[in-house]
């Protein structure tokens, strides 16, 4: 059984336990186990057979037993029985914002509601408002949330790049508000998750209440959801929800930390702080004995007070970052300035939007030492893939450009298509003439897992292939990743010294964070490429860096941080 299926079942159990009214901590235990498995670099199947399940943080006797049953029989009695206690679909109700387990259960018990359509009807005929602790206003709020939920369904989360751009525009507008001092994205946006549900902004102001009033008047803001003296929730023009929280100036460090999360990270941080006699909140750190509150303007000082190294936002996921921070053993995460070159670009020789020389100029502007030209192979007719003849011509042009530009080395290359049968689109003797070969899948994405895995491994095993491009083929919000045995691909990459790409194109971010984490643990070499089709797109590198940091990458894990000579030496051929 795949880890993703196991994660889904554990998460479902957590929801059902909440519905059942079981201890919230029991539910949380299942969630924690699910999150741990998400970051696991091994299959749960394997851990079961080796009796190593309890090495997973958050897995104790009870969950280990359930995982064993699940993996060996494909079935979990406990889960099936739990599911049978509720009308199927009741968890759908909880997807509506404002409906939690108590309300969902109330609706089901009192009115027999287990789907959104019946809920809507029950609100309209007044039944919901009559329930205990409900009222007309609550009922109407739920109705409003249902409408928003339907409108947004399917496109609820946006790529991190979309959210980041929107947040930057909004923050620019906010600089005009008097008295706002610090301002930063927080939440999943600051942690750089690949997709974002809503934007959290955290700031400080001389007079938060006045600043909130000014904020809700800004041109970007379309609809007010709720507001109080220190916070406001709004919908901005592109449909995204923004939650703003403003505090007094001296609390910025603690507030930024608090609202950056993740939830799991904060729970672990607070539990640990309590053992030290400290209580954490957005306002600072309170000594439990004296009741004295200390405030922190910087996050660094906030962590330091707890005896911890500064933990970068991207790895605050409750994995084992706090333990490592305690021992000053956190990785030194890669930064944008570490990147020395970009190895995946397209010019107007294939489907790029700019002449080759303009792309080179763009790379120079980034300050890169080297760049690889990787137009498409012939099979990709739709992208004007290069014929063998044109490959020869381009090779000549590249050697001319190398003579012309002394500040940057231009590698010849190609993004060669992996055909449905696993063969490459260009003969080996031609590939042998190129410095860098990226192999990627662009068609036949719906093959079964076995065929797809074989196909990709066959490309990865080719001695001329240096890099596997956008390995899983996902497009955020548009197309799921192909079905592939990623661990088998990892093994092949390791065996054949093939590099895996972290594609930084905002809609791709492929490999994703957890895969990057696993690949890195296995010692697989990675590169971060923008796949630029225009000189401006070299700026996509920041997204690749963000996702690589979420995968705990240091500069040494990423080959294109190497200076030119060392990078050359690291290539296969």
| Contacts with DNA, residue ranges (CB under 7 A) | 23, 25-26, 28-30, 32-33, 54, 57-64, 78, 94, 97-104, 129, 132-139, 141, 187, 197-198, 200, 226-231, 243, 259, 261, 263, 266-267, 270-271, 273-275, 279-283, 286
| Cβ atoms of 95 and 115 closer than 8 Å | no
- In whole angstroms, the minimum distance from the beta carbon of 224 to DNA comes to 9
3-state secondary structure of 109: helix
Q: Which is nearer to DNA, 129 or 445 (CB)?
A: 129
- In whole angstroms, the minimum distance from the beta carbon of 117 to DNA comes to 19
- In whole angstroms, the minimum distance from the beta carbon of 393 to DNA comes to 55
Question: Residue 160 and residue 199: Cα distance in Å, rounded?
Answer: 10
Q: Which is nearer to DNA, 96 or 372 (CB)?
A: 96
Q: Which is nearer to DNA, 104 or 499 (CB)?
A: 104
Q: Which is nearer to DNA, 198 or 417 (CB)?
A: 198
Tell me the torsion sign for CA atoms 109, 114, 119, 121.
negative
Question: Residue 263 and residue 130: Cα distance in Å, rounded?
Answer: 34
Q: Which residue from 455, 383, 389 is spatially nearest to 424, judged by alpha carbons?
A: 455
- In whole angstroms, the minimum distance from the beta carbon of 543 to DNA comes to 22
- In whole angstroms, the minimum distance from the beta carbon of 102 to DNA comes to 3
Burial of 270 (0-12, 13-18, 19+ CB in 10 A): middle
Q: Can you list the positions of beta strands (E) in 229-288?
A: 231-236, 241-247, 278-281, 284-287
- In whole angstroms, the minimum distance from the beta carbon of 94 to DNA comes to 7
Ramachandran angles phi, psi of 100, nearest 5°: -105, -170
Q: Which is nearer to DNA, 274 or 432 (CB)?
A: 274
DSSP structure class, residue 208: H
- In whole angstroms, the minimum distance from the beta carbon of 221 to DNA comes to 15
Q: Which is nearer to DNA, 280 or 359 (CB)?
A: 280
| Cβ atoms of 394 and 412 closer than 8 Å | yes
Question: Residue 100 and residue 229: Cα distance in Å, rounded?
Answer: 25
Two structure tokens written together for 4: 């993703």
- In whole angstroms, the minimum distance from the beta carbon of 392 to DNA comes to 56
Q: Which is nearer to DNA, 198 or 317 (CB)?
A: 198
Q: Which is nearer to DNA, 61 or 407 (CB)?
A: 61
* Crossing angle (nearest 10°) for helices 61-73 and 77-84: 100
Q: Can you list the positions of beta strands (E) in 368-472?
A: 370-373, 409-417, 436-440, 467-468
């Amino acid at each position: 059984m795949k880890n993703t299926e196991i994660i889904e079942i554990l998460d479902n159990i957590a929801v059902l336990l909440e519905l059942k009214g079981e201890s919230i901590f029991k539910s949380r235990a299942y969630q924690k186990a699910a999150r741990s498995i998400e970051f696991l670099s091994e299959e749960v199947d394997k851990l079961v057979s080796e009796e190593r399940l309890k090495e997973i943080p958050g897995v104790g006797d009870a969950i280990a037993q359930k995982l064993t049953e699940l993996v060996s029989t494909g079935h979990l009695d406990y889960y099936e029985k739990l599911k049978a206690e509720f009308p199927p679909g009741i968890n759908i109700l909880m997807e509506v914002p404002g409906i939690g387990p108590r309300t969902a259960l109330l609706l089901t018990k009192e009115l027999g509601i287990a789907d959104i359509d019946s809920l809507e009807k029950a609100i309209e005929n007044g039944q919901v408002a009559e329930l205990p602790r409900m009222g007309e206003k609550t009922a109407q709020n739920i109705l409003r949330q249902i409408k928003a939920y339907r409108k947004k369904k399917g496109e609820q989360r946006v790529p991190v790049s979309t959210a980041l751009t929107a947040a930057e525009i909004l923050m620019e507008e906010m600089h005009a508000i008097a008295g706002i001092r610090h301002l930063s994205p927080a939440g999943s946006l600051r942690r750089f998750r690949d997709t974002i549900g809503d934007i959290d902004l955290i700031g400080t102001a001389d007079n938060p209440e006045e600043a909130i009033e000014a904020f809700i008047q800004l041109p970007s803001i379309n609809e007010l959801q709720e507001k109080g003296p220190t916070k406001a929730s709004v919908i901005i023009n592109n449909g995204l929800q923004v939650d703003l929280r403003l505090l007094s100036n001296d609390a910025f460090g603690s507030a930024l930390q608090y609202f950056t999360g993740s939830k799991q990270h904060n729970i672990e941080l607070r539990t640990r702080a309590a053992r030290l006699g400290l209580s954490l909140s957005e306002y600072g750190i309170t000594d439990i004995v004296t009741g004295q509150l200390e405030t922190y303007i910087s996050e660094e000082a906030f962590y330091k007070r707890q005896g911890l190294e500064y933990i970068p936002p991207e790895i605050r996921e409750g994995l084992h970052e706090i333990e490592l921070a305690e021992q000053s053993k956190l990785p030194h995460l890669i930064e944008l300035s570490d990147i020395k070159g970009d190895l995946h670009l397209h010019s107007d020789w294939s489907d790029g939007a700019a002449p080759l020389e303009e792309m080179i100029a763009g790379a120079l502007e980034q300050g890169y030492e080297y760049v690889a030209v990787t137009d498409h192979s012939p099979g990709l007719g739709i992208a004007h893939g290069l014929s063998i003849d044109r490959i020869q011509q381009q090779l000549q042009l590249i050697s001319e450009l190398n003579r012309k530009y002394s500040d940057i080395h231009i590698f010849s290359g190609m993004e060669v298509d992996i055909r449905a049968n696993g063969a490459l689109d260009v003969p080996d003797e031609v590939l042998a003439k190129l410095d860098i070969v990226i192999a990627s899948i662009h068609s036949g994405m719906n093959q079964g897992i076995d065929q797809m895995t074989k196909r990709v491994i066959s490309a990865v095993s080719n001695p001329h292939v240096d890099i596997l491009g956008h390995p899983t083929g996902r497009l955020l919000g548009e197309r799921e990743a192909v079905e592939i045995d990623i661990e088998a691909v990892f093994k092949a990459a390791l065996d054949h010294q093939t590099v895996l790409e972290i594609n930084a194109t905002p809609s791709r971010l492929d490999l994703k964070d957890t895969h990057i984490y696993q690949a890195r643990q296995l010692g697989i070499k990675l590169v971060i490429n923008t796949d630029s089709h225009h000189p401006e797109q070299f700026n996509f590198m920041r997204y690749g860096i963000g996702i690589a940091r979420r995968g705990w990458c240091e500069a040494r894990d990423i080959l294109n941080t190497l200076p030119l000579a060392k990078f050359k030496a690291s290539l296969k051929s």
